[in-house]
Amino acid sequence: MHGSANTRASGAAHPHGAGHPAGATLRDHPASAPRPLDAFLVPAGRDPLTEAFAGREFAPPWRGSTPVDPTEADGVLERVFSTPREESAIAYVHVPYCQNHCLFCGFFQNVWKPEVAEGFVDDVVAEVVARAATPLVASAPVAAVYIGGGTPTALPAAALARLVEGLRTHLPLAEDCEITLEGRTFDFGLSKAAAALGAGVNRISLGVQSFDTGIRRRLGRKLSGEDVRAALAELVELSRARIVCDLIYGLPGQDEAAFLRDVDMVADLGLDGATLYALNVWRGGPLFRAIEAGKLPPAGPLARQAQAYAAGVARLTTQGWRQASQSHLVRSASERNVYNSGIKRGMPCLPFGPGAGGQAHGIRWRNVIEIERRRELVAQGRAPVEGLSRMPPRYAAQAIVTAGLESGALDLATVETLAPGFATAAAPLLANWSETGLIVSDDGHLRTTTAGAFWITNLTSGLFAALDRIEGPPTPSTEKTA
C-alpha cells in the first residue's frame, strides 16, 4: 500500500487503511481481551504530546466482530448482495502487485510482472460485471472509488485505463464520484497519468514517504528525491486532478528538520493534500530485521514522532492548510478525501480484486487474495470470498466515535443516542483527558488537541472500552442486516 487508504504507517484509528482493510480479517488479527477503562487514563504531570501513553494502541475497524460459521458463509454473503442499500457506498479495488518490497511496508504480496496485467484486469472487470446487477451494488450511488494496493500505478497505461473504464461503465457512480488512483512516482510518467486521467481518474495519491534521497534509498525506494519532486510538479501542472501524497515521520535516520523539509516541499509544490503518517515497524518485517541487524539506525522514538507530527501540522496550518482529519491536511477546497472519510464513518464498501476488503449490512468480508485460488473458485462457480464476520452490536456507535475523533470533533450526544449509558461510562476518561490536555469540551463536542490527535488510537480504544461497559442491548440500527 502506498496511498492514504492504508494502515501501514498510520497513527489513525482505521487503512486502511488505510485505509480500509485491503485483506485484513479476523483470521489475520485475532481479537484481544478488552482492556479495562483505567488503562486509558493519563497520569498527572505527564507531557500530553510526548508522554501521555507508553505506546500506541491498535484500534482496528473490525474490533469486536465475530466470525460467521463457515457452513453459513455462502448464505450470509448471498443475503448481503441481494439486499439493497439505502445509502451511498464507496468501492475499493485492490491491485496486489509491487515493483519491489519497500522496507517499511507490511502488506507486500506479489512481485510485479508486466505479463500479469491483462489477465488481472480481465479478472477484476469480470468480477465487477458479475456483481453490478446485484441489489447491493445497483441500488444506490457509489460516492468514491479507491484503486489501491500494492502499486496500481505499476499497471501499463492501456490496462490501467481499461480497468478504470470498466469501473465507470458498470458501477452506479455518482456524478461527482471521487476516483482515486494510488501508487508511486516510479514508472508513472505523464503518458500513463494521461491515460488514467482520460479514463476518469480525478484524484492521484502517491506514496512519497520522504523527499530525502538518502532516506529513500535506505527504504528501498528507486527514485531520488529530486526525481519525485519533478514528477509531482508535472502532475500538478496538468491541472486535471487533485494530487495528494503521503509523508512518513519517524523513519530511521530522519530527524525533525528532515521531516519538515519534506513538509515544506509538499507546500511548495502546491499539492491539494498531504497525509502525515507515523512509522509502524512491523515485527518480523524487513525494516524490523534491518534495524535488529544494525544495518539501519533505529526508528524515531514515540516522543520524537509526536514532536514531528505536531511540527508538521503546525507548519502546514500556518500556511493556510486545513486539517481535515488526524493525519490528512488539505490546501484546496476541492480535496474531499471521500473514500477515507467514508471508511471511518462506516459506509458500505464494495470490494473488487484479490485481497480487497468490504462491508455492508452488518457483515465484513475479504476477497481471496491468492490469484490462482481465486480463479479456481470462480471457475467452480463459487464466490472467491473468505473471512466473513458480523460487525459488533455497537458498531454504529463505534463508527461515530472513530469518525468524530478523526475529524477532530466528536458529537457526544450522537454516541449517547446510539449507545445509552455511554456518557456515564466515558465520564472518567473524558475528565482525565481534559485535565491532561488531550481534549477540550465545547458545547457537547469533544475536540482533540494536537496531542490528542497524535494519540488518536488510544483515545479511540478508550472510548470503545467505555462502550464495552454499557449494559443492555444497543439501540436498533436502521441499517438492514443479513
Give me the residue spans of the domains in the chain: 16-40+71-340, 395-468
Q: How confident is the model at residue 229 (pLDDT cuts 50, 70, 90)?
A: very high
User: Is the pLDDT assigned to residue 433 strictly greater than 80?
Assistant: yes
* C-alpha cell recorded at residue 49: 504530546
Query: How many whole angstroms separate alpha carbon 343 and alpha carbon 358?
Result: 10
Q: Is 29 helix (H, G, I), strand (E, B) or coil?
A: coil
CATH code matching the domain that covers 16-40+71-340, chosen among 3.30.470.10, 3.80.30.20, 3.30.420.40, 3.10.450.50: 3.80.30.20
Prediction pTM value:
0.92
Q: How confident is the model at residue 443 (pLDDT cuts 50, 70, 90)?
A: confident
User: Is the pLDDT assigned to residue 458 strictly greater than 50?
Assistant: yes
Q: Is 350 helix (H, G, I), strand (E, B) or coil?
A: strand
Q: How confident is the model at residue 159 (pLDDT cuts 50, 70, 90)?
A: very high
Bridge partners of residue 90, in order along the sequence? 144, 349
Q: How confident is the model at residue 480 (pLDDT cuts 50, 70, 90)?
A: very low
* C-alpha cell recorded at residue 438: 488531550
Question: Average pLDDT of 334-353?
Answer: 96
pLDDT in the model for residue 30: 41
Q: How confident is the model at residue 194 (pLDDT cuts 50, 70, 90)?
A: very high
pLDDT in the model for residue 99: 66
Secondary structure in 3-state letters for 249-305: ECCCCCCHHHHHHHHHHHHHHCCCEEEEEECCCCCCCHHHHHHHCCCCCCCCCHHHH
**Phi, psi at 252, each rounded to 5°:** -55, 130
Q: 395-468, what's its fold?
A: Arc Repressor Mutant, subunit A (1.10.10)
Query: How many whole angstroms separate alpha carbon 330 and alpha carbon 323?
Result: 6
Rounded to the nearest integer, the mean pLDDT of the chain is: 89
DSSP state of 448: E
Query: How many whole angstroms separate alpha carbon 259 and alpha carbon 244?
Result: 17
Start-to-end Cα distance in the chain: 31
Largest CA distance in the chain: 63
Q: Is 208 helix (H, G, I), strand (E, B) or coil?
A: strand
